[in-house]
Amino acid sequence: MSEAPVPARARERADALRELLHDHAHRYYVLDAPSLPDAEYDKLFQELQALEEQHPALRTPDSPTQRVGGKVLDGFGKVRHKVPMLSIRTETDIEASGARNFDARVRRELGLAETDPPIGYVAELKFDGLAINLRYEHGTLVQAATRGDGEIGEDVTQNIQTIGQIPLRLSTVRPEPVEGSAPTPVRPELVEGQARGASTGSARTASSPLPPPPVLEVRGEVYMRRDDFERMNELQREKIAKGAKNEKTFVNPRNAAAGAVRQLDQAITRQRPLSFFAYGWGEITPPEEGGPAFETHHDVLQAMKAWGLPVSDRVALAHGAEDLVAYHQAVGRERDGLPFDIDGVVYKVDNLALQKRMGFVTREPRWAVAHKFPAQEQVTTVESIDIYVGRTGKLTPVARLKPVFVGGVTVTNATLHNEDEARRKDVRVGDTVIVRRAGDVIPEVVAVVPDKRLHEAQLFTMPRLCPVCGSEAVREEGEVDYRCTGGLFCGAQRKQAILHFVQRRALDVEGLGEKLVDQMVEAGIVKTLPDLYRLGLVALVALERMGEKSAQNLLAGLEQSKKTTLPRFLYGLGIRHVGETTAKDLARYFGRLDGVMDASPEQLLEVPDVGPIVAESVHTFFQQPHNREVVEQLRACGVHWEEGEPPVRAPKPLAGKTVVLTGTLPTLTRDEAKDMLEAAGAKVAGSVSKKTDYVVAGAEAGSKLEKAQALGVAVLDEEGLQALLKGEL
Ligand code: IVH
């Protein structure tokens, strides 16, 4: 029988897919630096599988579909697995039918009738780490190997020995069963008493002590807990910040775990916090040679636990498809709360005789399936980086993405948090990025795929002007965020600014609450604060649920609010860092609004309890023409208060000057000189720099005097100091 000719397009596509998959497999298994998320790889893999099924002539011996995948890294010894480490079929259907399809297939392959009892399964978590084979001989760990290509893996014994959770010796004496540690059945009522279907778990392991068999190969997953991962990356970032050259951060716990296990330097593995779960086995001494006789998969896991191996307490017994569906759903709900990453669940036929009857296809057992959850990571491209301005004026860089389905929803934006984060990840327009969305957490760019960067991609820089209103955006010392300083004028901050202005402790406009402010802003009748005082009856009555009476009341409330006080007005402006107390301090000190508006940062620093951050904030606020304009208009609308005169204060001729004292003066002690200088407004500093205005030098002045001379700073003696204080210099 001759096969249909293969269309050229299918051949080209198959070639391209093979190329892509090979390349990715190399990065994934050998370099531990994947360039595609798993889901993407699976999709391509399945596409190739389908093409090859359709056109068997396309199936080449070296096709990635013909082997389990992976390659042995030079540097590790090679281990031929006694029992091949197989892969597992993946059920991609994210709904309940994934479990139902599997159950139907199992029943069909076992030739069961509809009237036959439900099949007994074990449902487990699908841990997202690295598969490992642990070989124990007479209870001692003698070898640990990675899966490699399934036939030959890498000898990573030394690295695995550093993982505290992996026993170097198995226990012979079983500990007393601990309450709560028994695996939970999905539906407990189905386990006890009722027919357990094809799975008849023996109770043997629950009572008599069981010595480990002469040969036992434990298979399981090495993984990293999320908290350990975060802590480790934090440490990595610190090292990088301190200039360490060969350090990097990891994209996710899976890569971190895989990297640590396949690390040639054992000392590094030792520092990486790894964990382990056992979920299966390879070679095991058969009963006829003195090994234990197990009837079910679940019994083996129980025995492993008894021998001291970590087995997840989320292993559950299930009967029939609906139990599996319930497990899938329950785990799906709790997924984000688990302390480690999983990418799905695994269903296994529990009864070992049935497993044997079902057997294997090329690379996968027929009696098990992995049922995945929607991938939480995907690749997409960055179309632009926009700046979002929040209600409080905070500027957040946001990556606009080519829409991508991830974590169960279509994602089009991902926050880059702030300038430092965007720089650290070095996300640029046009970049191919890995996007993550887990649970209700906002989508995030995890990493850039570096070799897909376009040549012309420009480094991201934070704008210095607010994209909404054009006011200056500033980043205060010690803060990570840029903020718009156009608080009164900025469209993004409108609602917040108005609400703040009208609140009881500020202008106290009666009858104006959040809902009404929302309506006014959305209707476009109030854009800036002065618009409030320009409202008329007609515009107000047009608002939802606003009768003429309440409109009139509101107008009366607005009218009344015009007579206010300077502290209330200052507070109402919503200047960052200016609360009620600071507003009072400023009002008391300057007496008049103009005094505050025109004050230099140095003058503001003179106000008791005002430090550099507040001084800078007030100054910048009133430097914005838009803000000054709003203040003028409010006054023009009739907002007024009683202005006072600034209290008479001793003149401060030395405000803003920095003076350094050195040596012994003829009549004044150091403290006296310091007090006099500070009273005149000078700052007395301890060391000389270019910013020093004067150095006052007495007898035995040393290096400070020399430095002053070198820098050309004016040097005074005590007489000069007196002249300076009198303002004569
Ligand atoms: S059983 C013969 N059970 O998923 C069946 N695998 O291809 C062998 N995995 O890399 C796999 N959790 O390391 C099984 N509870 C679990 C698992 C699990 C994670 C990994 C395994 C392998 C992949 C399956």
pLDDT in tens, 91-148: 876 677 889 999 999 999 999 999 999 999 999 999 999 999 999 999 999 999 999 9
Quote the ligand 1 centre to 14 CA distance (angstroms).
27
β-bridge partners, 146: 132
Q: H/E/C letters for each residue in 105-131?
A: HHHHHCCCCCCCCCCEEEEEEEECCEE
The tokens describing 406, both together, are: 């991830």
Whether 343 is in the pocket of ligand 1, judged by its Cβ within 6 Å, is no
**pLDDT recorded at residue 180:** 45
Atom index in ligand 1 nearest the CA of residue 147 equals 10
Quote the ligand 1 centre to 126 CA distance (angstroms).
6
**pLDDT recorded at residue 94:** 65
Averaged pLDDT, 507-536: 92
DSSP assignment of 607-673, as one string?
STT--HHHHHHHHHHHHSHHHHHHHHHHHHTT-B----PPPP----TTTT-EEEEESB-SS--HHHH
**pLDDT recorded at residue 32:** 58
| Stretch (H or E) spanning 534 | none
Q: How far, CA to CA in Å, does 312 sit from each of 578, 629, 643?
A: 54, 66, 73
Quote the ligand 1 centre to 281 CA distance (angstroms).
11
CB 65 within 8 A of CB 42: no
Q: Quick check: 708 pLDDT over 70? A: yes
Which residue from 439, 580, 620, 400 is spatially nearest to 500, judged by alpha carbons?
Answer: 580
DSSP E strand stretches across 200-274: 215-223
Mutate-to-test residue for ligand 1 from 92, 126, 347, highest number of ligand atoms within 8 A of CB: 126
Whether 487 is in the pocket of ligand 1, judged by its Cβ within 6 Å, is no
Quote the ligand 1 centre to 220 CA distance (angstroms).
7
CB 473 within 8 A of CB 484: yes
Whether 641 is in the pocket of ligand 1, judged by its Cβ within 6 Å, is no
**pLDDT recorded at residue 111:** 95
The SS3 call for residue 102 is: helix
Whether 346 is in the pocket of ligand 1, judged by its Cβ within 6 Å, is yes
Whether 124 is in the pocket of ligand 1, judged by its Cβ within 6 Å, is yes
Whether 126 is in the pocket of ligand 1, judged by its Cβ within 6 Å, is yes
Averaged pLDDT, 436-450: 84
Which residue from 296, 288, 277 is spatially nearest to 204, judged by alpha carbons?
Answer: 296
**pLDDT recorded at residue 198:** 35
Q: Pick the range with the lowest mean pLDDT from 89-98, 368-377, 474-483, 492-501.
A: 89-98
**pLDDT recorded at residue 33:** 67
Place of tokens 């597992």: 88
Q: Quick check: 59 pLDDT over 70? A: yes
Atom index in ligand 1 nearest the CA of residue 370 equals 24
- List the catalytic residues: 126
**pLDDT recorded at residue 202:** 41
pLDDT bucket at 641, cuts 50 / 70 / 90 = very high
Quote the ligand 1 centre to 63 CA distance (angstroms).
22
Whose alpha carbon is nearest atom 2 of ligand 1? 86
**Residue 366 CA neighbour count, 13 Å, CB half:** 16
Averaged pLDDT, 8-29: 81
**pLDDT recorded at residue 407:** 82
Atom index in ligand 1 nearest the CA of residue 221 equals 13
DSSP assignment of 151-189, as one string?
SEEEB-HHHHTT-TTS-SB--SSPPPPPTT-SPPPSSHH
Q: What is the pLDDT of residues 666-696, one digit of tens each?
A: 999 999 999 899 888 888 999 999 999 999 9
pLDDT bucket at 701, cuts 50 / 70 / 90 = confident
Whose alpha carbon is nearest atom 18 of ligand 1? 126
Atom index in ligand 1 nearest the CA of residue 312 equals 15
Whether 368 is in the pocket of ligand 1, judged by its Cβ within 6 Å, is yes
**pLDDT recorded at residue 39:** 79
Whose alpha carbon is nearest atom 17 of ligand 1? 126
Place of tokens 């292993």: 315
Mutate-to-test residue for ligand 1 from 133, 279, 297, 356, highest number of ligand atoms within 8 A of CB: 279
| Stretch (H or E) spanning 304 | helix 297-306
The tokens describing 673, both together, are: 């000189």
Instruction: Give Cβ neighbours of residue 715 (< 8 Å, ≥ 6 apart).
Output: 694, 695, 696, 697, 705, 708, 709
What are the φ/ψ torsions at residue 403 (nearest 5 degrees)? -50, 135
pLDDT bucket at 197, cuts 50 / 70 / 90 = very low
Mutate-to-test residue for ligand 1 from 67, 88, 312, highest number of ligand atoms within 8 A of CB: 88
253 or 189: which leads in pLDDT: 253
Q: How far, CA to CA in Å, does 122 sit from each of 68, 194, 210, 287, 345?
A: 24, 17, 22, 23, 10
Would residue 138 be called left, alpha or beta, if left means φ above 0 and alpha means ψ between -120 and 50 degrees?
A: left
Whose alpha carbon is nearest atom 9 of ligand 1? 126
Q: What is the pLDDT of residues 255-288, one digit of tens each?
A: 999 999 988 777 788 888 999 999 999 999 999 9
Quote the ligand 1 centre to 278 CA distance (angstroms).
10
The SS3 call for residue 365 is: strand
pTM of the full structure: 0.61
Averaged pLDDT, 603-631: 93
Q: What is the pLDDT of residues 206-262, one digit of tens each?
A: 445 688 999 999 999 999 999 999 999 889 888 888 888 888 888 889 999 999 998
Whether 281 is in the pocket of ligand 1, judged by its Cβ within 6 Å, is no
CB 49 within 8 A of CB 307: no
Whose alpha carbon is nearest atom 13 of ligand 1? 131
283-305 burial code (b ≥16 CB/10 A, e <16): ebeeeeeebbebbbbbbbbbbbb
Quote the ligand 1 centre to 424 CA distance (angstroms).
34
Q: How far, CA to CA in Å, does 170 sit from each of 268, 283, 504?
A: 26, 16, 71
- Largest CA-CA distance found in the chain, in angstroms, rounded: 118
Averaged pLDDT, 618-622: 95
Q: What percent of the chain has pLDDT over 90?
A: 59
59 or 639: which leads in pLDDT: 639
Whether 279 is in the pocket of ligand 1, judged by its Cβ within 6 Å, is yes
Instruction: Give Cβ neighbours of residue 444 (< 8 Å, ≥ 6 apart).
Output: 414, 415, 435, 436, 437
Q: At CA 6, angle to CA 5 and CA 7, rounded to 5?
A: 115
30-40 burial code (b ≥16 CB/10 A, e <16): eebbbbbbbbb
**pLDDT recorded at residue 246:** 80
CB 721 within 8 A of CB 672: no
Mutate-to-test residue for ligand 1 from 28, 38, 221, highest number of ligand atoms within 8 A of CB: 221
The SS3 call for residue 93 is: coil
Averaged pLDDT, 608-633: 93
Whether 221 is in the pocket of ligand 1, judged by its Cβ within 6 Å, is yes
Q: Quick check: 73 pLDDT over 50? A: no
Quote the ligand 1 centre to 129 CA distance (angstroms).
10
Give dist(CA 98, CA 120) in Å, integer: 17
Which residue from 446, 429, 452, 434 is spatially nearest to 382, judged by alpha carbons?
Answer: 429
Atom index in ligand 1 nearest the CA of residue 125 equals 15
Place of tokens 């170097």: 168
Averaged pLDDT, 439-448: 84
Quote the ligand 1 centre to 315 CA distance (angstroms).
13
Q: How far, CA to CA in Å, does 42 sit from each of 16, 49, 257, 267, 378?
A: 15, 10, 21, 34, 12
**pLDDT recorded at residue 174:** 46
**pLDDT recorded at residue 209:** 64
Whose alpha carbon is nearest atom 10 of ligand 1? 131
**pLDDT recorded at residue 35:** 72
Whose alpha carbon is nearest atom 4 of ligand 1? 126
Give dist(CA 239, CA 79) in Å, integer: 35
Atom index in ligand 1 nearest the CA of residue 280 equals 1
The SS3 call for residue 414 is: strand
Atom index in ligand 1 nearest the CA of residue 364 equals 2
Averaged pLDDT, 697-719: 92
Q: What percent of the chain has pLDDT over 70?
A: 91
**pLDDT recorded at residue 5:** 79
Instruction: Give Cβ neighbours of residue 63 (< 8 Å, ≥ 6 apart).
Output: 18, 48, 52
Burial class of 19 by CB neighbour count within 10 A (0 to 12, 13 to 18, 19+): exposed
Whose alpha carbon is nearest atom 5 of ligand 1? 88
Mutate-to-test residue for ligand 1 from 301, 346, 355, 358, highest number of ligand atoms within 8 A of CB: 346
The tokens describing 363, both together, are: 């690379």
Whether 280 is in the pocket of ligand 1, judged by its Cβ within 6 Å, is yes
Give dist(CA 312, CA 333) in Å, integer: 18
Which residue from 711, 669, 717 is spatially nearest to 693, judged by alpha carbons?
Answer: 711
Q: Quick check: 200 pLDDT over 50? A: no
* Eight-class DSSP state of 3: P
pLDDT bucket at 199, cuts 50 / 70 / 90 = very low
Helix/strand number for the chain, H first, E second: 26, 24
Quote the ligand 1 centre to 88 CA distance (angstroms).
7
* Eight-class DSSP state of 54: H
